[in-house]
Chain A
Amino acid sequence: MSSNSALERTISKVLSQKETELISQIDSAYQESLKNLEASQGKLEGERTKIVESARKQAENLKRQIVGSSRLAARNQELVIIETAVSNAFEQAKRKLADAGDKESYKSLMAGVIEESVSSIGSGKVTVECNKSDTELVKRIIADLQKKNPKVEASVSNHSIDIIGGIRVKSADGSMTYDNTIDSRIERLKPLIRKNIAQMLRGEE
């Protein structure tokens, strides 16, 4: 019996020791886990902040990109609309100019245009081309010009050209041409006139 009780005591002692050991191990494992968890939470928090920060940057970029593109698209649409309006204004102006042949101001304009063109070509014989309806007017102006300056050798071409108004002067050998038609003048001044029309459309003037 006594040997049994000794054995039981030993077993109980061993068990108790093991229990303490295990409890201590579990405790330290628990503490370690808590530490790990704490460290991971810090890391996780850091990662989360990084991801959120990067997403915020991406969102900002995307926003900037979308706003920028939309503004640009709107501006481009405005340019197209203005251009259509400008083209319409030019068409109307051309129609009005085509009907202005009888006006006194047109006659004085033609006199100036002919004088300028003939002198630009220089000395020698020149041929003046104009539209059909202006032929008589041009002939009269040339006759007047020759009275003033007998050196001018200009004749009106038999072939009319399809223009709104104004004239085209050619040297006798055809090597030099001076285009002083209203059509070409409009083309040359178009960039300036476009600006004025656009300003009016935008309410800037």
Chain B
Amino acid sequence: MPETTAGVEYTKVVEIKGPLIIIDGITKASFDELVEIETVDGERRLGKVLEVGFGKAVVQVFEGTTGLTITGTKAKFIGKTMEMPVSQELLGRVFDGLGRPNDGLPDPIADKFLDVNGEPMNPERREYPTSFIQTGVSVIDGMLTLVRGQKLPIFSGSGMPHNILAAQIARQAAVVGTKEDFAVVFAAIGVQYSDAQYFKRSLEESGALRRSVLFLNLADDPAIERIITPRVALTVAEYLAFDLGMHVLAILTDMTNYAEALREISAAREEVPGRKGYPGYLYTDLANNYERAGRVKGKNGSVTQVPILSMPADDITHPIPDLTGYITEGQIVLGRDLFRKGVYPPVNVLMSLSRLMKDGVGEGKTRSDHMEVGNQLYDAYSRAQEVRALAEIVGRAGLTGVDLKYLDVGDMFEQQFLKQAPDENRSLDETLGRAWDVLSNLPEGELTKIKEKHVKQYYKGK
């Protein structure tokens, strides 16, 4: 809630260092307090207090310090942390990275003002995620099922179509078989203008914008703003989920840009760097964001997170994917080889995993054969990869009849199951039908992961 009394405005800026300004003569300031900075030209920027002590305050300026001067700059301490106005009216709106309207419409009429840092979810009140979210993407629904309340990141690489996949998921995601409301909160962090326009247009044209809230921080926006973008987005997601009872899918792309911004601030604060220059608290900071997903006992809504990050040099051991992997419940990895082969979405299923899939699929949730079919596809594709490697050495002539079948199944898997158009929304039945089409090319005896009754019911081979 806005305070009825304003804070004090200070003019003694003693140092400007990267994204930070240091103000002297401070009598009252608190950690994380919001600061309104006014430049000599009257331009207003926002910042937050990082450190206070000895009459000084270190303030991180979200919109950057370009154009700020030691003399003439004013800093007003607002007396509260950064808040996001929230209401149902946010649906269908587009905001910038700091949560300000970006669609030419007025500020939303707020129902509440929520601290963007959120409140930690009481672990005892958390409910285990067990319900399926359909994305319309075969490989995700069939083999890496997303479950309401889960956090499932997409590990991608530079130039790969993660943004197209993100937009497709945002357009198509739905909670099937229930009339409960579904919403998408989309946070674009440090994306190119063309990508931002693509997201916006894609949601507008599909009619999905009315159930979405977009936060767009562009590549040319100040890097420091990126620290706030996921926080405002997740604040809105929490409100929609736990106050309005909606099932919310929060897509955060690209978390690598977020981590870069953290590194920039850490360097400016002269902190001891950790791996690759990222701050030692990168894990904690990422966890602060990722752990804002889940379900709460006694509440209808849920926040499901799909953070997307591009791995520098496709290195999965890089600190960002590495630490993300510790926190999240599985990962979807995009593969460069499949991308080069023209397969979209180029999901490397053998490196991917949805840890909560087993609890969200099966009888009464999706279809009784779902888990088994997913496992069998993994098995068959893994075998196909081994056979491919073997064929490279001994040639096709040296393979057995069954090996040759696996070779065909590998190709069919990539071309008929994995590959789909960016605007193709497949139902779960269609996805599982395609999976059975692929598996039916194997001899019945090879389907060792599937119960006999399901083989009898769905197997199409001779």
* Interface of A toward B, CB cutoff 8 Å: 61, 64-69, 71-72, 75-76, 79-80, 82-83, 116, 120-122, 174-180, 184-185, 188-189, 191-192, 194-195, 198
Whole-angstrom CA separation of A185 from B85 in the bound complex = 18
Nearest chain A residue, comparing its CB with the CB of B113: A191
Instruction: List 7 additional A-B contacts (Cβ < 8 Å) besides A69-B210, A179-B6, A188-B4.
Output: A68-B208, A76-B92, A83-B106, A175-B12, A176-B9, A178-B8, A192-B1
Q: Could you tell me the distance between the alpha carbons of A121 and B105 in the complex, rounded to whole angstroms?
A: 38
The answer to whether the Cβ of B122 comes within 8 Å of any Cβ in the partner chain is no
CB distance from B217 to the nearest CB of A (A): 23
Please determine whether A71 and B210 come into contact, CB atoms closer than 8 angstroms. Answer: yes
**Is B205 on the interface with A (CB-CB < 8 A)?**
yes
**Contact of B109 with A82 in the complex, beta carbons under 8 Å:** yes
**Is the CB–CB distance between B4 and A185 below 8 Å?**
yes
* CB contact under 8 A between A79 and B8, given known A68-B210, A72-B209, A72-B210: no
Residue pair B205, A65 in contact (C-beta under 8 Å): yes
Bitwise, B11-26 to A at CB < 8 A (1) or not (0) is 1100000000000010
A64 in contact with B25 given A175-B11, A176-B10, A191-B110 (CB within 8 Å): no
Q: Give the contacts of B1-53 with A (CB-CB under 8 A).
A: 1-6, 8-12, 25, 27-28
Q: A179-B6, A184-B6 are in contact. Are A67 and B109 (CB under 8 A)?
A: no
Contact B74 A177 (CB under 8 A): yes
- Which residues does chain B contribute within 8 Å of A67, judged by CB atoms? 207
Assess whether A174 is in contact with B106, with CB atoms less than 8 Å apart.
no
- Chain B nearest CB from A88 CB (Å) reads 13
Most buried by A among B28, B85, B106, B110: B106
Chain B window 333-360, contacts with chain A (Cβ cutoff 8 Å), 1 for yes, 0 for no: 0000000000000000000000000000
Within 8 Å of chain A (Cβ to Cβ): is B89? yes
Interface residues of B (CB under 8 A from A): 1-6, 8-12, 25, 27-28, 74, 76, 85, 89, 92, 105-111, 113, 204-210
Query: Are A75's CB and B92's CB within 8 A?
Result: yes
Q: A65-B207, A180-B5, A192-B1 are in contact. Are A174 and B109 (CB under 8 A)?
A: no
Say whether A120 contacts B109, CB under 8 Å. no
Contact B8 A176 (CB under 8 A): yes
- B25 adjacent to A188 (CB under 8 Å): no
Partner of A174, one of B4, B5, B11, B28: B11
Q: Would B6 and A188 count as touching, CB distance under 8 A? A: yes
The reply to whether A76 and B11 contact each other, CB–CB distance below 8 Å, is: no
Partner of A188, one of B2, B27, B206, B208: B2
Which residue on chain B has the smallest CB distance to residue A192?
B2
B106 A80 Cβ-Cβ under 8 A: yes
- A194 contact set on B, CB distance < 8 A: 107, 109-110
Partner of A180, one of B6, B106, B109: B6
Contact indicator B105/A80 (Cβ below 8 Å): yes
Partner of A195, one of B25, B109, B210: B109
Bound: A188/B1 CA distance, A: 10
Which B residues lie within 8 Å of A176 (CB)? 8-11, 25, 27
CA distance A75 to B88 in the complex (A): 12
Contacts of B6 in A (CB 8 A): 178-180, 184-185, 188
Contact indicator B207/A79 (Cβ below 8 Å): no
